[in-house]
Amino acid sequence: MVHLRIVVPSHQSEHALDLLANTPSVCNLIYLERAARRPEGDVILCDVAREEASVIVSDLRELEIDKEGSISMEDIDSQISEVAIRAEKAASGLPTDAVVWEEVEARTSENVELSGSFLAFLVVAALLAAVGILTGELVLIIGAMVVGPEFGPLAGLCVALVHKRRDLAKRSLTALLVGFPVAISASFLLVLALDVTSLVPEDFTQVGHPFTDFISRPDGYSVLVAALAGVAGVLSLTAAKSGALVGVLISVTTIPAAANVGVAAALGDGAEWVGAMTQLAINLSAIVAAGFVVLFVQRRLYVRRRRAHLDDPSREAAGLPLGRSRRDKRDASSTPAGR
């Protein structure tokens, strides 16, 4: 279940209450008259089946509650209620398969910013990977994958492509286009410093490190694994209770490949540099392509559910038109609350 806290202008309260009261997938409906002070209005609390959360929020946004008031959402981890069970049964589908699109956009928007912490984590991950490459330690490579924060902008780019949001795409690309050169430069400078202090063996060659050889030897499996990682990453992003999975071991060889670009450049290994750059390009493009496909399919399923809901009697009770949305087509294609 998803808990909604709605601050609604008093003149829209009746419409919102009628909408929610006539929706079988909504329960625990509470009305607090004139309880809100900023913005002024009434407060409505309710729980809604996860499968119907985005659909109900779309109706509330048609009432322009998001402009004059606010809509807050949070997942309910545990609830002991026969009423809630009946509400969940009233919604078709399974909660674990449901996508709350407002939640997806909020998650990606938070993780695509080119911030100091993003750059710091990316640099630390690249440095860990560089040391792992030099020492042939696979544990360090895996650690770098876990630390790397780059899946946030990659997921943000997928969401931006599906929703046609230029602002999100711009922020995601900025984080990637600035972050990776910074990380590569950091690994380059680290290896130069290690080389000057004779900490890099004179006879070092990656050919003798079979555990890290895959980083700069892209093949058909590289595309397959990166695509599967993109699918897994997006599914973890959109599924319920997925926060712990996002960004963990999703990058595959993205961070290690970026680090190896710096390592190869510092050691003057042109062939290794080309291989690492190819691996990096394959991973980034395959993850985004696969993630886009998964989100596109999930979005189509949501649109089908939303269109079916447009004929629901609860909309008529709330004064909303049946069979169509008040929101125009351009708004519907660019936001998750559209038709």
Identify the pLDDT of residue 331. 45
**Cβ partners under 8 Å of residue 27, min gap 6:** 1, 46, 47, 48, 81, 83, 84, 86, 87
How many Å apart are CA 45 and CA 71, to the nearest integer?
10
Q: What is the pLDDT at residue 250?
A: 58
Residue with tokens 């009261």: 21
Integer Cα distance of 47 and 1 in angstroms: 6
What pLDDT does residue 211 have? 60
Run means of pLDDT, 10 residues per run, the chain, 339 residues: 95 95 95 94 96 94 93 91 93 85 86 91 95 86 87 92 93 95 96 89 64 78 90 83 52 85 91 92 94 95 92 92 74 43
Q: What is the pTM of this model?
A: 0.85
Distance CA(190)–CA(188), nearest Å, equals 5
Per-residue pLDDT at 300: 93
**What distance in Å separates the CA atoms of residue 169 and residue 290, rounded to the nearest whole number?**
16
Cβ count within 10 A of residue 221: 10
Measured CA to CA, the distance from residue 71 to residue 256 in angstroms comes to 41
| Distance from chain centroid for Cα 145 | 17
- State which H helix or E strand residue 317 sits in: helix 313-317
Beta-carbon count within 10 A of 268 CB = 8
* Cα gap 304→306, rounded to integer Å: 5
Question: What are the tens digits of pLDDT across the range 307-336?
Answer: 999 999 999 999 999 988 887 543 444 444
Gap between the Cα atoms of 175 and 155, Å rounded: 12
What confidence score (pLDDT) does residue 262 get?
94
| C-alpha dist (Å) from residue 299 to 55, 114, 293, 325, 330 | 12, 27, 10, 17, 16
pLDDT (tens digit, 9 = 90+) per residue, 114-160? 999 999 999 999 999 999 888 888 888 888 888 888 988 999 999 99
| Pairwise CA distance, residues 168 & 335, whole Å | 12
CA distance 171 to 285: 17
Q: Shortest CA distance to 107 belongs to which of 227, 10, 242, 278?
A: 242
Query: Which CA distances in Å does 183 have to 133, 179, 197, 218, 275?
Result: 15, 6, 21, 21, 17
DSSP readout, 112-125? ----HHHHHHHHHH
Rounded to whole angstroms, the Cα distance separating 130 from 201 reads 14
Distances (CA, A) of 296 to 160, 164, 210, 285, 329: 11, 11, 38, 16, 17
